[in-house]
Amino acid sequence: MRFLKLAMRRGLVPGACLVLLALAEPAQAGVDAVATTSEAPAAAGFSLAEALAALDRHPQLVSAQATGRAAAHDVVAAGVWTNPQINIQYARSLGYTTYDPLLGAGQIGVTQFLETSGLPTARRRAAEFERDATHADTGATRTRLALEVRRAFLALAGAFERRNVVAGTLVQVERARGIVEARVAGGLAPRYHASRMAIAVADARAAVEEAEAQIATERGAFDVAVGPGASALLGAPKMDLYESSSLPSLSSFLDAAKNHNAEVNAMQLRARAAAAEVDIAQRSVFPGIAVYGGLGVGQGIGPNNERQYDVLVGVTVPIPSLDRGQGRIPAARMRAQAWSSAADGLTLEVDQRVRAEHAAASRRRVALEKYRESALASSAAMVGEIEAAYSDGRLAVLELVDAYTSARDAKLRFVDLAVDAKIAEVAVWQAAGVAP
């Protein structure tokens, strides 16, 4: 600032002052950069791979894994037979008796239910389908969390990039304020110009603070997505938001959804488990028989005091006369049909969502590339022209402020388009239910 005032007082024209300022600022910036580098450590950052690796500690994933292990134990429990039962009976008469007068009469035996209809095998088969479905749920949970982390990572990276844009604009506006104040001090511009630039600087500073607030908001969403492991991820996301890469074809997304969508796979497995429940319901009408074997003593005593010992056998057979499965079997069939229809509906929904999200992602990429080709270059050229014109006194201060505002908005728009294009691709993966 003092440099500009001194130059103008010595008779240099405004355009020459601007040139000298442009030459002086990079040198000072270099000094500041060296000082900053020597005094402060390099800013920390983290990659997407590091964020995804931190997911292993996420409570939802740990819960899903525990549920999967529980389902594996359920398979074992479903295939075992019922435990045998020990029956003990004792009788002693209070009056006349033919029992052993010393010991009374006692029986001990074992009853075992024999599931002759094959129910344990049928139950185990249904439990195996449910176990596999639960494991698929775990995969779906991991995929969902990974894609949520990708989306939050991109949103956080976009917030940092927006902060960089508005911070750069603040530097430009403060530089322009120096030019304006130098012109005012030299009597080449009214005092109003300095006041207007002060307002522009205040607005630019407020934009930086708002950008910092947005970073805090997006960081909170990112921490929620990553879980406990997020505490080790410090600094800004390390990625190139403006990298231009081709969007995978629609057919590749559809194939991935058809063959690798864990949620659809889990639904189909539960449909098969429900079909196995029909077999269980049918076998439950006549589940098996119960057999009994035991020993008895003291039921009688001989004329020479010989004790009577008995060998006991028995069988219990259910008679399916009242309950013939007239409720359970049709209900099981309807549940199987419901699960099958739900699986078909989910498959169709995934297909339709993938097509819609892929079309949206394609259009967003087109918008980004068109904007990249035209708007950015135009805004950069506009700022240079406006600065030179104002320095020569050919434009008003409002046009100078408008140039900086328009250039800032153009850069912010480019950031938004870049972030939206990448998030749109994540949305296609989310629709397909598969992580890239």
CA–CA gap between residue 418 and residue 154 (Å, rounded): 10
Question: Rounded to the nearest 5 degrees, what angle is found at the Cα of 365, between the Cα atoms of 165 and 150?
Answer: 70
Predicted local distance difference test score (pLDDT) of residue 263: 95
The domain spans of the chain are 1-42, 43-80+115-285+325-432, 83-114+286-322
Q: Would you say how long the chain is, in residues?
A: 436
Q: Is the dihedral of CA 97, 100, 103, 104 positive or negative?
A: negative
Instruction: Determine how β-strand 289-301 pairs with β-strand 307-316.
Output: antiparallel
Q: In what order do the strands lie in the sheet with 289-301?
A: 85-91, 105-114, 289-301, 307-316
What percentage of the chain carries pLDDT values higher than 70?
85
Predicted local distance difference test score (pLDDT) of residue 100: 78
pTM greater than 0.85 = no
Predicted local distance difference test score (pLDDT) of residue 387: 65
Predicted local distance difference test score (pLDDT) of residue 39: 38
CA–CA gap between residue 78 and residue 130 (Å, rounded): 11
Spatial CA neighbour of 387 closest among 13, 3, 115, 18: 18
Q: What is the pLDDT of residues 267-282, one digit of tens each?
A: 999 999 999 999 999 9
Q: Which helix (H) or strand (E) holds 310?
A: strand 307-316
Query: By mean pLDDT, which of 63-67, 90-94, 177-181, 381-385 is the weakest?
Result: 381-385
CA–CA gap between residue 142 and residue 136 (Å, rounded): 10
Q: Which two tokens stand for residue 102?
A: 């010393």
CATH number assigned to the domain covering 43-80+115-285+325-432? 1.20.1600.10
For the chain, state the CA radius of gyration: 40
For the packed helices 59-79 and 119-185, what is the interaxial angle rounded to 10 degrees? 180
Q: Is residue 213 classed as helix, strand or coil in its secondary structure?
A: helix
Confidence of residue 6 (pLDDT cuts 50, 70, 90): very low
Query: By mean pLDDT, which of 308-312, 326-330, 400-404 is the weakest?
Result: 400-404
CA–CA gap between residue 323 and residue 276 (Å, rounded): 20
Neighbours of 142 (CB within 10 A): 20
Q: Are 180 and 195 in contact (CB under 8 A)?
A: no
Beta bridge partners of residue 88, listed in sequence order: 108
Predicted local distance difference test score (pLDDT) of residue 185: 86
Neighbours of 264 (CB within 10 A): 23
Q: What is the pLDDT of residues 143-159, one digit of tens each?
A: 999 999 999 999 999 99
Q: Which residues contact 266 (CB under 8 A, 6 or more apart)?
A: 133, 134, 136, 137, 140
Where on the phi/psi map is residue 89: left (φ > 0), alpha (ψ -120 to 50), or beta?
beta
- State the DSSP code for 232: G
CA–CA gap between residue 416 and residue 356 (Å, rounded): 21
Predicted local distance difference test score (pLDDT) of residue 9: 44
Confidence of residue 393 (pLDDT cuts 50, 70, 90): low
Q: Are 190 and 260 in contact (CB under 8 A)?
A: no
CA–CA gap between residue 327 and residue 281 (Å, rounded): 9
CA–CA gap between residue 421 and residue 360 (Å, rounded): 9
Q: Which residues contact 161 (CB under 8 A, 6 or more apart)?
A: 241, 415, 418, 419
For the purposes of burial, counting CB atoms within 10 Å of the CB of 207, is it exposed (0-12), middle (13-18) or buried (19 or more)? buried
